[in-house]
Amino acid sequence: MADAAKHVEPRLPFQRAAGFRDGYLLQVPRNGAFLWNGDPINGTTLSDWLRQYEQHEGAGRLWVEFEPNVSSKRKEWVRREVIDSGLCAQHRCAETDWSANWSVVH
């Protein structure tokens, strides 16, 4: 009999980036709005933008940062949205450390 209580949280590929060259940054704070390249957005907008962004195949990667101590429920929801958008299947999603020190390349 399978253990129905067993739950596996979705994961994104983790990378400690050397440079934020292209794409977008999604920051997930413990509470409040999500931050898309620094601009606050809600969950509905995030879902819409993820699906739109997925359609632009050469547009770069989505970097996702979770603030320490984000609830597992919030983290799981965001990861599921990113995975379901199709970005990860295109190898265009990555999770990195919160407030990573990006060496921006122009």
Sheet of strand 62-66, all strands in order from the earlier edge strand to the far edge:
39-41, 34-36, 24-28, 62-66, 93-96
Q: In this structure, is residue 5 part of a structural domain?
A: no
Q: What is the CATH number of the domain that holds 45?
A: 3.30.420
Quick one: CA dihedral 46, 50, 52, 58, positive or negative? positive
| Per-residue model confidence (pLDDT) at position 16 | 53
Distance separating alpha carbons of residues 31 and 42, to the nearest angstrom:
11
What is the β-pairing status of strands 93-96 and 62-66?
parallel
Distance separating alpha carbons of residues 43 and 34, to the nearest angstrom:
7
Which one-letter DSSP state was computed for residue 14? B
Answer whether residue 92 shows pLDDT above 80.
Answer: yes
| Per-residue model confidence (pLDDT) at position 106 | 40
pLDDT for 23-67, tens place per residue?
Answer: 889 999 999 999 998 899 999 999 999 998 888 877 888 999 999
Answer whether residue 6 shows pLDDT above 90.
Answer: no
% the chain with pLDDT above 70: 74
Distance separating alpha carbons of residues 37 and 34, to the nearest angstrom:
10
**Total domains in the fold of the chain:** 1
Q: Which domain holds residue 89?
A: 24-96
The 3-state DSSP class for residue 100 equals: coil
Q: In this structure, is residue 7 part of a structural domain?
A: no
Q: In this structure, is residue 4 part of a structural domain?
A: no
| Per-residue model confidence (pLDDT) at position 17 | 53
Answer whether residue 86 shows pLDDT above 80.
Answer: yes
